[in-house]
């Protein structure tokens, strides 16, 4: 039987370090790192995420604010807002909350952000610096995964690491980070032949493709570290019961919300893995913590303090 690798204790350590350094920077430089989030439209989940990020900034002594634009905002209008933030020296970090309304071209919008203020680390220049292993801002979720691997006491160097998923937000930057740490990386996806067989060779398995409980016991090498990045809302009572038995927390979720959050990994693989991150309470807390750390890093990079 393996152990659950929860994110909150690890995230709390990251947040405390950020809080201490933010206070030191404010004392020595007279300014606190500042994050501005840009929210377009009325997506309830996005509004909740932005509030969470603002609250986290305040709790850690960072300057956090948001700009809320109507859903019908045009590309030109949005570009003017971002260019204003690029020019504002009190803004160290810019975050455009995704997803954007359908008429806005996400890749183009991300490309407008100054790379040294790109707190999500997904500007083409940011990703290029990552591939070159040069200083720059890195995507938050992959950084959080690295923190969890470190917390488990598992060295990446020389390990076989399999990543299921090839998104620009998680899969591809995760592969670059692991390569930079001297791990041997395989990226798998929907076209991979014998996906389970490829995954089962992994000392460290990272699942990030957004399919509920897709990764079963046959995907997992005995004693592997398994990091579950996925989240899917599952409302089928029978499937929930199959995955979690009579777990009262899951039953409460179903009764109160009509669904429960399930990762990409079947939680029952805990009896084969050495470590498994739960969903929720696994990778999620680290994503916000690393966003706060990236805001700090942006402040330092822009002032040649890093």
Check residues 306 and 193 and name the one with the higher pLDDT: 193
Please determine, for residue 174, whether its predicted confidence score (pLDDT) is greater than 90: yes
- pLDDT band (50, 70, 90) for residue 306: low
Q: Would you call 157 exposed, middle or buried from its count of C-beta atoms within 10 A (0-12, 13-18, 19+)?
A: exposed
- pLDDT band (50, 70, 90) for residue 84: very high
**CA triplet 49, 277, 271: central angle to 5 degrees?**
150
Structure tokens at 271: 């009896």
Please determine, for residue 141, whether its predicted confidence score (pLDDT) is greater than 80: yes
Q: Which of 27-31, 102-106, 126-130, 210-214 has the lowest mean pLDDT?
A: 27-31
Give the model confidence (pLDDT) of 71-80 as tens digits. 999 999 999 9
Please determine, for residue 303, whether its predicted confidence score (pLDDT) is greater than 90: no
Asked if residues 145 and 173 have their Cβ atoms less than 8 Å apart, the reply is no
Q: What is the mean pLDDT of the chain?
A: 95
Give the active site residues. Answer: 53, 97, 120
Asked if residues 174 and 145 have their Cβ atoms less than 8 Å apart, the reply is yes
Give the model confidence (pLDDT) of 114-123 as tens digits. 999 999 999 9
Q: Is 153 left (phi over 0), alpha (psi -120 to 50) or beta?
A: left
Q: Mean of the pLDDT values across residues 229-238?
A: 94
User: 99: cis peptide before it, omega within 30°?
Assistant: yes
- pLDDT band (50, 70, 90) for residue 148: very high
Q: Mean of the pLDDT values across residues 187-194?
A: 95
Q: Report d(CA 237, CA 301) in Å as an integer.
A: 49
- Tell me, what's the pLDDT at 263? 96
Give the model confidence (pLDDT) of 246-290 as tens digits. 999 999 999 999 999 999 999 999 999 999 999 999 999 999 999
Q: Report d(CA 19, CA 57) in Å as an integer.
A: 9
- pLDDT band (50, 70, 90) for residue 51: very high
Asked if residues 228 and 263 have their Cβ atoms less than 8 Å apart, the reply is yes
Please determine, for residue 41, whether its predicted confidence score (pLDDT) is greater than 90: yes
Q: Mean of the pLDDT values across residues 16-33?
A: 94
| Residue among 220, 134, 131 nearest 174 (CA) | 131
Question: Structural domains in the chain?
Answer: 29-114 (3.40.50.10860), 140-286 (3.40.50.720)
């Amino acid at each position: 039987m393996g152990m659950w690798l929860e994110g909150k204790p690890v995230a709390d350590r990251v947040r405390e370090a950020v809080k201490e350094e933010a206070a030191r920077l404010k004392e020595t430089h007279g300014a606190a790192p500042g994050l501005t989030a840009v929210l377009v439209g009325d997506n309830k989940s996005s509004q909740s995420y932005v509030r969470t990020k603002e609250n986290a900034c305040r709790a850690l002594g960072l300057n956090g604010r948001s700009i809320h634009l109507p859903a019908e905002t045009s590309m030109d209008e949005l570009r003017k807002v971002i260019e204003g933030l690029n020019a504002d020296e009190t803004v160290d970090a810019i975050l455009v909350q995704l997803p954007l309304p359908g008429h806005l071209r996400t890749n183009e919008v991300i490309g407008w952000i100054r790379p040294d203020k790109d707190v999500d680390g997904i500007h083409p220049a940011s990703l290029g610096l990552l591939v070159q292993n040069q200083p720059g801002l890195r995507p938050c979720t992959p950084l959080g995964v690295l923190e969890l691997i470190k917390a488990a006491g598992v060295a990446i160097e020389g390990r076989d690491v399999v990543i299921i998923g090839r998104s620009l937000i998680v899969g591809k930057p995760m592969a670059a980070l692991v390569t930079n740490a001297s791990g041997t990386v395989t990226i798998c996806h929907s076209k991979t032949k014998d996906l389970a067989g490829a995954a089962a060779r992994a000392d460290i398995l990272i699942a990030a493709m957004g399919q509920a409980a897709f990764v079963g016991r046959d995907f997992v090498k005995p004693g592997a570290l398994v990091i579950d990045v996925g989240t899917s809302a599952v409302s089928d009572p029978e499937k929930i019961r199959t995955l979690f038995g009579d777990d009262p927390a899951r039953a409460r979720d179903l009764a109160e919300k009509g669904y429960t959050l399930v990762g990409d990994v079947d939680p029952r693989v805990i009896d084969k893995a050495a470590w498994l991150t739960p969903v929720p309470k696994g990778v999620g807390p680290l994503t916000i913590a690393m966003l706060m750390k990236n805001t700090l890093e942006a402040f330092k990079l822009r002032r040649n303090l890093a």
